[in-house]
């Protein structure tokens, strides 16, 4: 059954900027009540003012903070019908040269943050027979040097969503995972600005992995996925081709393909470039001070 978002409450994490902020705008345009959760209060307040929504500052790795954000949303709107676990970060550097705390932090935010968000909201969204959308990535099934923690965390998000769907289908709850490729967000722009090796690799990637999609197009695709209660949302849609080729990508052929498009060179160049930045995350990230 299609999900009409009018007068429904949609809670979005990582909603201060990028995909989360644009999704909040698009959902509000559909008549939804929007609750925004994130770590950047000034930006959250600005987006909330645009959409006449509710906002709450918290770190998704802090269970007490997530629980408080949920309680605050319930106090304001009385229900939670849709949850979009979108908060995510990407550390800079390879496993060899990257700070271990940054690698672990990426997994903590991207995967453990999803687990905590879902656990806090599940009783309410299940009671509403609503929908949970977990923002994974094309990186869940397409590995790239320099993105070990990011790829691992997003693969974990996909499998967490698959099991969550099976566990709750009889209760009327639907669960989807979203798999965007490169979206024109601050996160991707920061990587391009920081690393010449990343810019080169992005240009060399084969179609459709070299596609860059606007944040507006991405938000619209995710919103349609919520309304249609889809199991999988690919952005762009052509990323479904990569998903279908997963058995091939898990073979030695994928390693040879990555090498052909400069993967080994990318890793070597990144190991030289990343330490010179003096930080483990992009300039726009809430983690920039780490």
Query: Over the stretch 170-194, which tens digit does the pLDDT of each residue have?
Result: 999 999 999 998 888 888 887 777 7
Output the CA angle 217-113-66, nearest 5 degrees: 100
**Per-residue confidence (pLDDT) for residue 240, from 0 to 100:** 78
Provide the annotated active-site residues: 150
Is 88's pLDDT higher than 90? Answer: yes
**Per-residue confidence (pLDDT) for residue 245, from 0 to 100:** 67
**Per-residue confidence (pLDDT) for residue 284, from 0 to 100:** 84
**Per-residue confidence (pLDDT) for residue 211, from 0 to 100:** 75
User: Under 8 Å CB-to-CB from 75, ≥6 apart: which residues?
Assistant: none
Does 123 fall in a domain?
yes
Is 18's pLDDT higher than 80? Answer: yes
Does 118 fall in a domain?
yes
Q: How many domains does the chain have?
A: 1
CA distance linking residue 122 with residue 15, whole number of Å: 19
CA 38 to each of CA 45, 189, 195: distance values in angstroms, whole numbers, following the listed order: 10, 20, 26
Does 125 fall in a domain?
yes
Band of pLDDT at residue 280, cut at 50, 70 and 90: confident
Band of pLDDT at residue 21, cut at 50, 70 and 90: very high
Query: Over the stretch 27-70, which tens digit does the pLDDT of each residue have?
Result: 999 999 999 999 999 999 999 999 999 999 999 999 999 999 99
What is the domain-level CATH number for residue 129? 3.40.50.720
Q: Which domain holds residue 149?
A: 9-277
Closest to 223 (Cα-Cα) out of 24, 17, 68? 24
**Per-residue confidence (pLDDT) for residue 262, from 0 to 100:** 59
Average pLDDT score over residue span 66-91: 97
CA 23 to each of CA 133, 191, 227: distance values in angstroms, whole numbers, following the listed order: 12, 22, 13
Does 41 fall in a domain?
yes
**Per-residue confidence (pLDDT) for residue 258, from 0 to 100:** 61
Does 284 fall in a domain?
no
Q: Are 178 and 135 in contact (CB under 8 A)?
A: yes
Query: Over the stretch 89-117, which tens digit does the pLDDT of each residue have?
Result: 999 889 998 899 999 999 999 999 999 99
Residue 23 burial by CB count (10 A; 0-12/13-18/19+): exposed, middle or buried?
Answer: buried
Does 283 fall in a domain?
no
Average pLDDT score over residue span 135-142: 91
**Per-residue confidence (pLDDT) for residue 209, from 0 to 100:** 66
Does 117 fall in a domain?
yes
Query: Over the stretch 219-273, which tens digit does the pLDDT of each residue have?
Result: 999 999 999 999 999 998 888 777 766 655 555 555 665 666 656 677 788 888 8
**Per-residue confidence (pLDDT) for residue 163, from 0 to 100:** 98
Does 282 fall in a domain?
no
């Amino acid at each position: 059954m299609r999900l009409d978002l009018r007068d429904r409450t949609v809670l979005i994490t990582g909603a201060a900027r990028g995909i989360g902020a644009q999704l909040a705008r698009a959902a509000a345009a559909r008549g939804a009540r929007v609750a925004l959760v994130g770590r950047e209060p000034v930006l959250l307040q600005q987006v909330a003012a645009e959409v006449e929504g509710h906002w709450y500052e918290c770190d998704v790795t802090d269970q007490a903070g997530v629980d408080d954000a949920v309680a605050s949303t319930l106090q304001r709107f009385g229900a939670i019908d849709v949850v979009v676990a979108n908060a995510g970060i990407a550390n800079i550097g390879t496993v060899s040269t990257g700070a271990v705390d940054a690698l672990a932090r990426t997994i903590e935010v991207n995967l453990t943050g999803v687990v905590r968000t879902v656990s806090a909201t599940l009783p309410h969204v299940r009671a509403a027979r609503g929908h949970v959308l977990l923002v994974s990535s094309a990186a869940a099934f397409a590995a790239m040097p320099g993105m070990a923690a990011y790829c691992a965390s997003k693969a974990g998000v996909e499998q967490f969503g698959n099991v969550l769907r099976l566990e709750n289908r009889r209760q009327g709850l639907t669960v989807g995972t979203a798999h965007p490729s490169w979206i024109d967000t601050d996160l991707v722009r920061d990587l391009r600005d920081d690393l010449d090796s990343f810019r080169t690799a992005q240009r060399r990637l084969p179609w459709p992995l070299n596609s860059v999609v606007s944040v507006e197009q991405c938000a619209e695709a995710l919103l349609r996925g919520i309304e249609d209660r889809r199991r999988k949302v690919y952005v762009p849609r052509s990323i479904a081709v990569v998903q279908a080729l997963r058995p091939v990508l898990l073979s030695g052929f994928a390693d040879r393909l990555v090498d052909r498009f400069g993967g080994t060179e990318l890793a070597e160049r990144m190991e030289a470039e990343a330490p010179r930045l003096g930080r483990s995350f992009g300039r726009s990230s809430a983690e920039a001070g780490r």
